[in-house]
């Protein structure tokens, strides 16, 4: 990037931050869990912007935690290896060969790409998975899905240790089984469980749409649990949005203060959500 372009970027960011000053205090010492989906990761430039936002967030006193997905990246390697894969209710049917690929891609390629991007912006990110320090012990979700796990026991001590050292946890959604198995966990589900274990102030679910849309296709900026249930029953919330809104409701039941579903590809998405009056995307709060 040319110096002139970099300056322009920083000026835009500084302008965002100066109008954000009244909101900064609100998030001092807050824990903000950010789920970055595989589709929301995009180009190297988009990743650089995301990483810069995360580092800025930390510099103003927030404790950010990144939980990532990587579905499209897993598909790409499975294709190269000629391993077939199918999804049932938004979860990948995961046999022994597939879980090895899932772990290689998530803990290897995707996790380290995010860690490196944050560290290049001056942060100190540490990449782990749910297996590290028993962060996320899982039970099998359903024998028909193979090695797909549901978070059962969470131990977030490792994350608090990293916060104390000003380090940014970047977490791959894999869990340890009680009998030594490796479990593949849906990224949204893992982010919700981690946010609940931390009693996070915010869970940001970054995706590829600007929020939860109503029947007319407009983004609903504030949603309560009862509205989500009605919209799901009417089929307005469908497909990949179902696990996201379910995660949001479970996280709120688990003690997370609010969940936001927003477009991760939009410039400064996380900063705009946290540090402006209008926020971004759809804010989901307890009834």
Ligand X SMILES: Nc1ncnc2c1ncn2[C@@H]1O[C@H](COP(=O)(O)OP(=O)(O)O)[C@@H](O)[C@H]1O
- Phi, psi (rounded to 5 degrees) for 110: -70, -50
Interatomic CA distance for residues 150 and 189, integer angstroms: 8
Name the binder of 213 from ligand X, ligand X2W, none, CB < 5-8 A by kind. Answer: ligand X
**Residue 225 binding ligand X, by CB under 6 A:** no
Nearer to ligand X, 50 or 163 (CB): 50
Name the binder of 102 from ligand X, ligand X2W, none, CB < 5-8 A by kind. Answer: ligand X2W
Name the pairing type of β-strands 125-129 and 168-172: parallel
On whether 52 is known to bind a ligand per the annotation, the reply is no
Question: In whole angstroms, how close is the CB of 74 to ligand X at the nearest point?
Answer: 12
Give me 232's structure tokens. Answer: 């799901």
Q: Which of 20, 33, 37, 123 binds ligand X (CB under 6 A)?
A: 37
Specify whether 127 is catalytic. Answer: no
Q: Which of these, 125, 86, 78, lies nearest to 103 by C-alpha position? A: 78
Alpha helical stretches, state H, the chain: 3-24, 38-41, 44-59, 71-80, 96-103, 111-120, 157-164, 187-198, 225-233, 241-253, 269-275
In the bound state, the residue with its beta carbon closest to ligand X2W is 69
Q: Which of 40, 137, 162, 272 binds ligand X (CB under 6 A)?
A: 40
Neighbours of 259 (CB within 10 A): 29
| Catalytic residue (choose from 37, 38, 49, 130) | 38
Specify whether 71 is catalytic. Answer: yes
Annotated binding site for substrate: 70-71, 92, 184
Q: Which residues are catalytic?
A: 35, 38, 71, 188, 244
Binding region for ligand X (CB under 6 A): 37-40, 69, 207-209, 212-213, 236-241
């Amino acid at each position: 990037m040319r110096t002139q372009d970099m300056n322009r970027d920083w000026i835009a960011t500084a302008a965002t931050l100066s109008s954000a000053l009244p909101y900064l205090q609100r998030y001092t010492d807050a824990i903000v869990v950010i789920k970055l989906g595989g589709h929301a990761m995009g180009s190297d430039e988009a990743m650089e912007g995301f990483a810069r936002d995360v580092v800025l967030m930390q510099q103003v006193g927030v404790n950010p935690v990144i939980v990532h997905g990587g579905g499209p990246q897993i598909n790409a390697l499975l294709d190269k290896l000629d391993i077939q894969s199918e999804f049932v209710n938004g979860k990948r049917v995961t046999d022994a060969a597939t879980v090895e690929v899932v772990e290689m891609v998530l803990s290897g390629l995707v996790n380290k790409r995010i860690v490196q991007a944050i560290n290049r912006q001056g942060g100190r990110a540490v990449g782990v998975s749910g297996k590290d320090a028993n962060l996320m012990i899982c039970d099998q979700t359903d024998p028909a899905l193979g090695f797909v796990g549901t978070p059962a026991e969470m131990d977030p001590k490792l994350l608090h240790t990293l916060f104390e050292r000003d380090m940014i946890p970047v977490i791959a959604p894999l869990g340890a089984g009680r009998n030594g198995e490796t479990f593949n966990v849906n990224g949204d589900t893992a982010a919700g469980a981690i946010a609940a274990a931390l009693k996070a102030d915010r869970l940001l679910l970054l995706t590829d749409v600007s929020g939860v849309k109503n029947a007319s296709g407009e983004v609903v900026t504030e949603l309560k649990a009862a509205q989500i249930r009605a919209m799901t029953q009417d089929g307005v919330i469908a497909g990949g949005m179902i696990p996201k809104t379910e995660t949001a409701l479970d996280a709120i039941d688990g003690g997370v203060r609010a969940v936001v579903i927003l477009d991760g590809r939009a410039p400064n998405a996380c900063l705009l959500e946290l540090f402006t009056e209008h926020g971004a995307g759809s804010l989901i709060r307890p009834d």
